[in-house]
Structure 1
Amino acid sequence: MYKSIDISEVSKQAGIPASTLRYYEEKGLVQSIGRRGMKRLFDTSILNKLNFIALGQRAGFSLDEIADMFTHQGILQIDRSQLMSKADEVDKQIKELKAVRDGLRHAANCDAPSHLECPKFQRLMKAAGKANKREKRA
């Protein structure tokens, strides 16, 4: 026998709107086990699955990538090389964000009469423009 909770309780405990749960179900990330009246019912194990989805999103995985980490039976099966690749991407983002942080701190303390006259701020703006172009091409 399943221990079940309705969609409003899942929403409350997970801290996400019921509409998000319905969307996740539509995408195949979660599956309801029935209904009580008009409300969807879920196995209590959904809370663990929602925590994993939240972790995956925080790590930068798309919902489709997260869905692919589950077998057709709903069992979590993570490709370790995919995790390593994502960790490398996060390292790159950290490096880029540190450079932006350092540039912003420099600009905040720069003695130049205008930020546009600060050479380091100029380099920061150019780097941001180049990164924006790369992202649009990808």
Structure 2
Amino acid sequence: MSSWSWWDELEQKLEQQLEAFLKSHPEQSERLRQEQLNEAAQLRRQLLELAAEIKQWQERTQKAQAAGAQDLAQRAQQHLEQLMQQGRELWQQLEAIGQDLHQPAPRSEDLDSAWARFETEQALEELRRRQGL
């Protein structure tokens, strides 16, 4: 499990560095967003092309089965399954991009600021209690 902890720490540190970089360079943040949108559009095109190819291989599989060419039908079915797996992988990639685009960037600085304000208010409240205010 220790191998995962160092990996998680590395991933977290890299995420924080990326966030810091993007906050200090807003134009790069927009560029990254645009690249994600472009990648999503490309994945959608690939999925549409793949869907047409899957439909074609479904028809070929059915045609081979109807003609009694079981060996050919089996090979076509295997190819069809590979195409469908490829489609699932593309869909997962597209879904991940969609989540990234719709997920607000974590606000670690805002959280730190809020926490500091909370601690300051707590300390002030403690002083007031001690002073009888």
Relative to the length of structure 2, the TM-score reads 0.32
Which structure's residues are more often strand, by fraction? 1
Larger Rg: 2
Greater share of helix: 2
Query: Bigger relative contact order, structure 1 or 2, given CA contacts below 8 A and separation 6+?
Result: 2
